[in-house]
Structure 1
């Protein structure tokens, strides 16, 4: 990993991650019962993690084929990026995104990044990996009810997260998800001495996938990739606002991608530098209160990703008005032009910003 000394705590970017699995207080989740559980790890001797190889992400080797509800995308291309890729399982990781959790690690290797609103009007990220796996990703945080419906598009993915409030746990266990937490799979996680709890938990993606005995390969979730359609309007910067968070996506002709800024600061990954998705989808959704709340009594928002609505698709320096449709939890999400034609994304990483409809 590259030492990005300009971001985060000066001069310290996870070069000495400890395997001591310190139980830390987790933000954000408690219902009427106990708060989000802190895992109780088995103490192990502290060790220094060797410096990783310069390659920030590794290609996932072809796994043993397993039956899937829907066939993988044809033509040897990833259904999430439109780029050449071998069939591989899907790992979704819930990431912290308050300023103290930045810069992230491993985010540049994600195929897809979802932005979701949580308590207090801030956001968290859901990074989806399949084509490539970084050595580490994080900081990892807790799951929300919205994740269950959102991930139903993917068949039965692996979900790695730090925990959840007790009332939500039965719903997570009943969902078509293979769950990986610090409690169930301690060897897949690390605690960083460079971050304070609860922003110090990191995942080893390869170990997380290895802990699941049978996984499903990535499958078509409705996205289409190809040349830019006619129309659209030139855009230099597009901004999305949440009650307590702000995202700006600025077109970089040199990168042929969008530079991401969060709350007015450039977003970077510790291992790959600036975050530069090729496509950004501002998916306008209804955000309603859920039946869950955090330990301070703030109600957890629920982002509705089943149904239909409008969207703004940013690609190649242009903005395209679109419509999104997802009739059921098991169906994919399609994006079309106002006339109903499929609206293709630019091949590469895509960010899907679940923006409040209002």
Structure 2
């Protein structure tokens, strides 16, 4: 009897232990023939879909309507100011001659606003007119008195670094360069300063014309573009067929970003010739942006002649009476004097 009781007790404990093990395993899930796959390019908002909007100055897709106003920054191009910071982020860059044998740059930012841009330099009339035509906020550091008077009177919405010199919010002076080559703008903060000054921060920018994916680029071969302003002032672009981009060189040195060391690459190069003349005893120039003239459009390893026209203040390329289409991407515009002009000052390889 006692032996039978012991057997019953042992069996009961074994049964309880088995039930406990089954409970700890939890519910059993059925096997599935398919694994759940997450697309790394797909966000919760479904950003793997085609962009609904287009940036007006690059023709590239945007997931939100680009309402932010363009910022036009005067960028120093003296050899003591190179390499610059943030220049490669610009949608469009204009390169004009300043005094003497140097160029200065007007960089138009709208689709990609870098943290810092510079060095920033002083104002000139034809840069101001270009910024105004873009409906951009003009950002510069200093100006001649007669120009500053007109700017303060409302010539174009503007922010002058001379009023924010080294305030560490909008402008800062860097110690690794000497003035006047050491002024840098914290570009995103320009929108807040603009708001404080009752400057409009949003504008519906008119779009340039861009090629669609199925439109071909035609023209003569242009794998290398060389522009001679003077014997000691040359600009070159070298084409990479794999990226379909041109890398820029200034006086034989590759143009790169100071911070990232990334090369400056563009999809389109426009070269316009127009009248230049010295306007005053300080060597300042007059550059004709109104009369139109001849030029070249270079894209995807090809070059074709164009004429440029003043279109509501902008120097736009035209072919056979129609606005020429750009390849979606960034654009660099070199404006050169009639002498040496296109025939003597520009070569292709």
TM-score greater than 0.5 by the shorter chain: yes
| Shift in Å, 1:80 | 0.8
| Shift in Å, 1:158 | 1.1
TM-score by length of 1: 0.72
Q: For 2:333 and 2:96, how far apart are their aligned partners in 1?
A: 9
- Secondary structure class of the residue paired with 2:237: strand
| Shift in Å, 1:230 | 5.2
Equivalent residues in 2 for 1:225-244, closer than 5 Å: 225-226=211-212, 229=216, 231-243=218-230, 244=232
Give the counterpart of 1:348 among 315, 321, 329.
329
Query: Cα deviations across residues 129-164 of structure 1 (Å, max 9, x unaligned)?
Result: 011110101011111111222223222x21111101
**Other-structure match for 2:93:** 113
CA contact (8 A) 1:306 1:326 kept: yes
Structure 2: gaps of 5 or more residues = 1-51, 340-349
Is 1:159 equivalent to 2:128 in the alignment? no
Q: What RMSD, in angstroms, separates the aligned Cα atoms of the two structures?
A: 2.1
CA contact (8 A) 2:85 2:116 kept: yes
**Other-structure match for 2:238:** 250
CA contact (8 A) 2:55 2:207 kept: no
Give the counterpart of 1:209 among 188, 191, 203.
191
How many matched pairs? 276
Equivalent residues in 2 for 1:289-328, closer than 5 Å: 289-291=278-280, 297-326=281-310, 328=312
Where relative contact order (Cα < 8 A, 6+ residues apart) is larger, the structure is 1
**Other-structure match for 1:19:** none
Structure 1: gaps of 5 or more residues = 1-74, 292-296
CA contact (8 A) 1:284 1:354 kept: yes
Q: For 1:298 and 1:221, how far apart are their aligned partners in 2?
A: 37
- Secondary structure class of the residue paired with 1:151: helix
- In structure 2, the CA distance between the partners of 1:346 and 1:327, relative to structure 1 (3 Å rule), is closer
Give the counterpart of 1:123 among 103, 124, 135.
103
Q: For 1:174 and 1:289, how far apart are their aligned partners in 2?
A: 26
Q: For 1:268 and 1:166, how far apart are their aligned partners in 2?
A: 34
TM-score by length of 2: 0.74
Query: Cα deviations across residues 32-70 of structure 1 (Å, max 9, x unaligned)?
Result: xxxxxxxxxxxxxxxxxxxxxxxxxxxxxxxxxxxxxxx
Q: For 1:284 and 1:319, how far apart are their aligned partners in 2?
A: 15
- In structure 2, the CA distance between the partners of 1:325 and 1:222, relative to structure 1 (3 Å rule), is farther
Which of structures 1 and 2 has the bigger CA Rg? Answer: 2
**Other-structure match for 1:173:** 152
CA contact (8 A) 2:246 2:266 kept: yes
Q: Which has the higher helix share?
A: 2
